[in-house]
A and B are shown apart, each in its own frame.
Chain A
Amino acid sequence: MIRGAIQELFERRDLLYTIAWREIKVKYKQSVMGMLWAVLMPLAIVCSGMIVRFALASVSGKKVELDDLTSVAVKSVPWAFFVSALRFGTTSLINNAHLVTKIYLPRLIFPLASVSSQLLDFSIASAGVTIFLLVSRDWAFSVELLWLPLLLATLILLATALAILFSAASLFLRDVKFLVDVFLTFAIFFTPVLYDVSLFGKLAPLLLANPVSPLLEGIAAVVIHHQSPELPWVAYSIAISVSLFAFALAAFKRLEPLFAESI
């Protein structure tokens, strides 16, 4: 069943591309700032993160280091991608109800297109961060940077898996949409975006059990500290993401025949 689904997706890859392009195009229509929003949204998170950092530092009486600030920047951008991918992914089927009920097309395309359209914003914002890094410090290439593609790929896979799962679930029960919103609002407290895991000392594993945490920590370690990520935790995140993705695909394909009459 899953192989059939992937084959069908491959056959309709032009459609996936077109729908993702539509999402991007429509998002910035009649907006003066346009694509700039792709940079401004993560920038807002980065700024608030820096304020939190300054506040923490002044309470504990320590000096704020540049590394702390860049680490916030480096982690905020992937986090902003994760949040918006889930948010848009969750509503992707409901928002395309007229297509789901009236025309047959592989419905997996909708959550996938939502995540893909967020990828564009993500790459624009990442380019911004890269420029910031290049300007703010003498930044050199290191072998550890080779970990970065794996970490990002895992993050994208995890976001895709959850988007697929939530899009189907919210089609049957609109409650899911609200739950995801609430969950994403508070998730920043359980995810080391504005702070580092090391802050928690012995409780750190509890925080790392969140599969996003090892990835964000890993990205910061690789990009800023030129260190390898903590491999057992990264392996844990990969395992969770891959199995969640397989589960999401299977569940989605199982529920798909009911979509048109349940939406």
Chain B
Amino acid sequence: MVDDVLRVDGVYKKFRRGELYGSLRDLVPAMVGRVVRGKKPEDQLDQRDFWALQNVSFDVKRGEAFAIIGGNGAGKSTLLKLLTGIMRPTQGAIRVAGRVSALIEVSAGFHPDLTGRENVYLNGAILGMRREEIRQRFDAIVAFSGLEEFIDTPVKRYSSGMFARLGFSVAAHVDPDVLLVDEVLSVGDYMFQRKCVERMNAVIAAGSTVIFVSHNLRAVANLCQRSLLLERGKVQMIGPTEEVIHTYYERGQQARPIEADRGVAITEVVAHDETGRRVEIDSDSKLCITARARANTRHEDMTLVIQIVDEHQYAIFDTCTQRLGAGALTLDAGETLEVTFELDLALGEGTYHVNAFLHRYLTDRRFDSVSHAATFFVTGAHELRGVANLHPRLTMCKIGSGKSDVEGGLE
């Protein structure tokens, strides 16, 4: 297709655990072995090798905003390194039409001894700009960073926030055909982040192709139409961002097996409404959090704690079986306990995570803890902002006429 600006075709990437060559003692036999036996076929795994990516294929059209979603260790960073050309795939092909630029490690090119001004030129050149281009955009870059006062100070005297802001400002002023963005939207304070999102929107509107990798899934959902879900190096699905995010969180709530050496563990936490629907919870429905714990050996005196945190990891709700009057929990070997907390959903729209802990009764000693065991979105509360839904109702009247003109409620 002519429209594809980026095409990834059956890409595999193999990595090796441990040191390449531990010592001369390992190196010599390895070299001799290679000469005698010949090179190993690329698609075979040595015992120390593992696949970071397996059979990854997708294409991105010109002008599209595309997201790559996945948990830690899913292979996102490896995929980005292949896309930028830092590494080459073990197998498969990547074709890019045009200049790729990455908003990854935006301050990697900085040299601490050079001033901000010098580093703008240095980093601009590293990111692929010509000197003339940098000269023209210099004032815009500095204005964007808000560091006019310190531009002639060596960057080693900068705070880490200033460092990152200057890095992002340079990177944001490169015009690439394909822009790769990795987690940079978390740079700086709220105002700077808003500037960054606006800039991203402008880049997309100007017709550049953007590929996002981010944990800030709300930002991704706002910016990208299509997404790819990566799990343990394999593509799980490609589709509309909303669906992919739903699948990502739903898969995150799948039961985890208890390891044989654990005495007791939380095996499953699910957030759902009263009909069993997960991930998107309507603000009118109830919120149920169901947790399962399983014991390999007998455990007594336990309490199950659940905690709801907002996007900024701020705990907005916390309760446990003990405080709800359930007494100490006891589990015999091989037993599984299921606990369901039924809650009134008094939350505003947004993304929330559930953390679950298994404590010793009346103390803080932890048997198990799972953060972000489940994630859900609250939808359908357009009339309010913030995390708390205080169910506002409205009463208005004109003073002086003696009777109320408007009386209404919003639930």
Measured CB to CB, the residues of A under 8 A from B are 12, 14-15, 17-19, 22, 25-26, 29-30, 98-105, 172-173, 257-258, 260-262
**Chain B proximity of A21: nearest CB distance (Å):** 8
User: Can you add 4 more A-B contacts, CB < 8 Å, to A22-B122, A25-B113, A102-B108?
Assistant: A19-B122, A101-B86, A103-B84, A173-B21
Give the distance in Å from the alpha carbon of A17 to the alpha carbon of B105 in the complex.
22
Cβ contacts under 8 Å, B121 to chain A: 18
Known contacts A260-B86, A261-B15, A261-B87; A15/B113 CB under 8 A: no
Known contacts A99-B109, A103-B126, A262-B20; A14/B114 CB under 8 A: no
Q: In the complex, which residue of chain B has the Cβ closest to the Cβ of A107?
A: B86
Known contacts A15-B126, A22-B122, A260-B87; A102/B105 CB under 8 A: yes
Q: In the complex, which residue of chain A has the Cβ closest to the Cβ of B113?
A: A29
Determine whether the beta carbon of A25 is less than 8 Å from that of B118.
Answer: yes
Cβ contacts under 8 Å, A30 to chain B: 113
Q: Is the interface of B mostly helix, strand, loop or mixed?
A: loop
Give which listed residue, B114, B118, B126, contacts A105 with CB less than 8 A: B126
Give the distance in Å from the alpha carbon of A261 to the alpha carbon of B130 in the complex.
29
Among A18, A19, A98, A99, find the residue whose CB has the most chain B CB atoms closer than 10 A: A18
Determine whether the beta carbon of B125 is less than 8 Å from that of A18.
Answer: yes
Cβ contacts under 8 Å, B155 to chain A: none
In the complex, B81 has a CB within 8 A of chain A: yes
Give which listed residue, A17, A18, A257, contacts B87 with CB less than 8 A: A257
**Chain B proximity of A23: nearest CB distance (Å):** 10
Cβ contacts under 8 Å, B118 to chain A: 22, 25
A-B contact pairs, 18 of them (CB 8 A): A12-B128, A18-B122, A19-B125, A22-B111, A22-B114, A22-B122, A26-B111, A29-B114, A30-B113, A99-B109, A102-B108, A103-B86, A103-B102, A104-B84, A104-B86, A105-B126, A260-B81, A260-B86
In the complex, B100 has a CB within 8 A of chain A: yes
| CB-CB nearest 4 A-B residue pairs | A257-B88, A18-B125, A104-B85, A102-B105
Cβ contacts under 8 Å, A103 to chain B: 84, 86, 102, 104-105, 108-109, 126-127
**Chain B proximity of A228: nearest CB distance (Å):** 42
**Chain A proximity of B11: nearest CB distance (Å):** 14
Give the distance in Å from the alpha carbon of A100 to the alpha carbon of B81 in the complex.
11
Give the distance in Å from the alpha carbon of A257 to the alpha carbon of B104 in the complex.
19
Cβ contacts under 8 Å, B100 to chain A: 104
Q: In the complex, which residue of chain A has the Cβ closest to the Cβ of B13?
A: A261
In the complex, B131 has a CB within 8 A of chain A: yes
**Chain A proximity of B24: nearest CB distance (Å):** 9
A-B residue pair count with CB separations less than 8 angstroms: 69
Cβ contacts under 8 Å, A18 to chain B: 121-122, 125-126, 131
Give the distance in Å from the alpha carbon of A172 to the alpha carbon of B21 in the complex.
10
Cβ contacts under 8 Å, A99 to chain B: 108-109, 126
Q: In the complex, which residue of chain A has the Cβ closest to the Cβ of B112?
A: A26
Cβ contacts under 8 Å, B88 to chain A: 257-258
**Chain B proximity of A33: nearest CB distance (Å):** 16
Among A14, A99, A101, A103, find the residue whose CB has the most chain B CB atoms closer than 10 A: A103
**Chain B proximity of A126: nearest CB distance (Å):** 27
Give the distance in Å from the alpha carbon of A141 to the alpha carbon of B111 in the complex.
45
Known contacts A103-B84, A257-B88, A261-B87; A14/B111 CB under 8 A: no
Known contacts A26-B114, A103-B126, A260-B81; A14/B86 CB under 8 A: no
Cβ contacts under 8 Å, B104 to chain A: 102-103
Give which listed residue, B20, B102, B105, B130, contacts A14 with CB less than 8 A: B130
**Chain A proximity of B29: nearest CB distance (Å):** 16
Cβ contacts under 8 Å, B127 to chain A: 103
Cβ contacts under 8 Å, A258 to chain B: 88
Give the distance in Å from the alpha carbon of A252 to the alpha carbon of B21 in the complex.
21
Q: In the complex, which residue of chain A has the Cβ closest to the Cβ of B88?
A: A257
**Chain A proximity of B360: nearest CB distance (Å):** 45
Determine whether the beta carbon of B131 is less than 8 Å from that of A14.
Answer: yes
Give the distance in Å from the alpha carbon of A99 to the alpha carbon of B126 in the complex.
9
Cβ contacts under 8 Å, B21 to chain A: 173
**Chain A proximity of B110: nearest CB distance (Å):** 10
Give the distance in Å from the alpha carbon of A101 to the alpha carbon of B130 in the complex.
22
Cβ contacts under 8 Å, B102 to chain A: 103-104
Give the distance in Å from the alpha carbon of A27 to the alpha carbon of B84 in the complex.
30
Give the distance in Å from the alpha carbon of A15 to the alpha carbon of B126 in the complex.
6
- 1/0 contact trace for B80-93 toward A, CB 8 Å? 01001111100000
Q: In the complex, which residue of chain B has the Cβ closest to the Cβ of A98?
A: B108
Cβ contacts under 8 Å, A262 to chain B: 20
Cβ contacts under 8 Å, B108 to chain A: 98-99, 102-103
Give the distance in Å from the alpha carbon of A98 to the alpha carbon of B107 in the complex.
10
Give the distance in Å from the alpha carbon of A29 to the alpha carbon of B108 in the complex.
20
Q: In the complex, which residue of chain B has the Cβ closest to the Cβ of A101?
A: B86
Q: In the complex, which residue of chain A has the Cβ closest to the Cβ of B129?
A: A14
Q: In the complex, which residue of chain A has the Cβ closest to the Cβ of B104?
A: A102
Cβ contacts under 8 Å, A100 to chain B: 86
Cβ contacts under 8 Å, B129 to chain A: 14
**Chain A proximity of B8: nearest CB distance (Å):** 16
Cβ contacts under 8 Å, A29 to chain B: 113-114
Known contacts A18-B121, A262-B20; A26/B126 CB under 8 A: no
**Chain B proximity of A256: nearest CB distance (Å):** 9
Among B21, B100, B104, B125, find the residue whose CB has the most chain A CB atoms closer than 10 A: B125
Give the distance in Å from the alpha carbon of A101 to the alpha carbon of B88 in the complex.
12
